[in-house]
Amino acid sequence: MKRILLPVVVFLSIIILACGPKAVKPVSEMDTPEHHFYTGMKMIDQNRPGEAQQAFNRALQLSPKFSKAHAGIGLAFAYQNNFIEAFKKLDQAWSYAKTDEEKLFVHIGYIRVNTMSKAVCTKIGVDCRQDMSWLDKTKSEFNKAIAIDPKSAAAYYYMGLAYKNALDFSQAGQMFAKVMELKGDLTAEADVQWKLVQDIQRAMPGTYTGKKIALVDKITRADAAAIFMEELKIDTLYKKRTLKTFDTSFRAPDQQPKEPPKRAATDIADHPLRLDIEGIIELGVRGLEVFPDGKFLPGEYVTRAAYAMMIEDILIKVTGDQALATKFIGSPSTFPDLRSDLPYFNAVMVVTSRGIMQAKSLTTGEFAPLDTVSGVEALLIIKKFREELKF
């Protein structure tokens, strides 16, 4: 029986090997798997996944079992939001990984693709708190990575991005700090992320929505409504701090004052922040009203000038100090890019004189009124506004 089976096994093995992918011959000295892999990773860093995939494919033509090239294709698929294929390629890369360097690269690949596949968690209106299994898997890959190389800056950096995506800013900060401590690759990138995380922690967003807004580069009118309703709790603030006025004069039944009907926005029915928008419309914050055509334009970006006008309006209503509305009219501007005849001049002067907002550039002193407001900047301003009210 053994004499019969042995030749059969050998024959089948030869067939399997013959049917596997064959390496092509290089056409030049630079036509190497390593060179094409390096080029592919450069394309990934530049967010050019299509070109990266071409480079990785050439690397595999030259070396079909090149583990890191398979993982690179996985990253390219992930950058194109094709996560099913991305994970398939990572699994294939793992099957070919032999050295510690190759295994480390695949573990980091899993960290990256896990995080990218859950980027939806940072979108406003999406609640991922019920399914955090992806983070547990990512932690497992991270632990395996640093078991191979405790000084892998890439492992710490991409785990930091995973924690940031999961809104765990404390853990994210520790990861980015470790990258800077190692003083190797990704130090500059980690420094940027660490500063962002530090600002978010200083802003102390208290709500799930606030933490998500902290990560956006430019807040929208809908985001501003959510910040005021959820982080500032403006409705409660108005009830506690605004002065009530009573008209006790006699009026006949047919002369009773009628409140004007509230205008409803026509473009927020399906918006995830609809309730916050409706709440802010009800309160009537200057700069966040419904437009004459009935639209709220929830996706329109908020400028620094517009945000200053919103803060000024809330400050006037909360303090009852109507003089703030004209306090700086006729005064000289303290900012080189802010004329005193602009409609938002007074608002900017009010909020900056109280330290609620400040110049965008401390070097030039420019306020940059038409620049957009980031999420973390908007939250830091709210924090300073609260401190001003307590004072």
Task: Please give the domain boundaries of the chain with CATH numbers for all domains.
Answer: 23-97 (1.25.40.10), 99-120+131-203 (1.25.40.10), 216-241+267-390 (no CATH)
Q: Which residues pair with 220 in a beta bridge?
A: 301
Looking at residue 142, its pLDDT comes to: 98
Beta strands in 197-331 (DSSP E): none
Residues, the chain: 391
Note the pLDDT tens digit of each residue in 264-318: 899 999 999 999 999 999 999 999 999 999 999 999 999 999 999 999 999 999 9
Residue whose pair of structure tokens reads 């409140």 in the numeric block: 259
Number of Cα atoms under 13 Å in the Cβ half of residue 340: 9
Residue type, 191: D
Pair of tokens at residue 330 = 């006729």
Do residues 213 and 227 touch, judged by C-beta distance below 8 A?
Answer: yes
Note the pLDDT tens digit of each residue in 312-336: 999 999 999 999 999 999 999 999 9
Q: Angle at the Cα of 177 (from 86 to 137), degrees rounded to 5?
A: 30
CA atoms of 117 and 215, how far apart (whole Å): 17
Per-residue pLDDT, averaged over 122-141, amounts to 92
Note the pLDDT tens digit of each residue in 230-253: 999 999 999 886 555 545 555 555
Note the pLDDT tens digit of each residue in 364-378: 999 999 999 999 999
Residue type, 331: S
Per-residue pLDDT, averaged over 177-182, amounts to 98
CA distances from 9 to 4, 6, 15, 16, 21 (A): 9, 5, 10, 11, 20
pLDDT confidence of 18, banded at 50, 70, 90?
very low
CA distances from 225 to 51, 115, 120, 228, 305 (A): 41, 29, 21, 5, 16
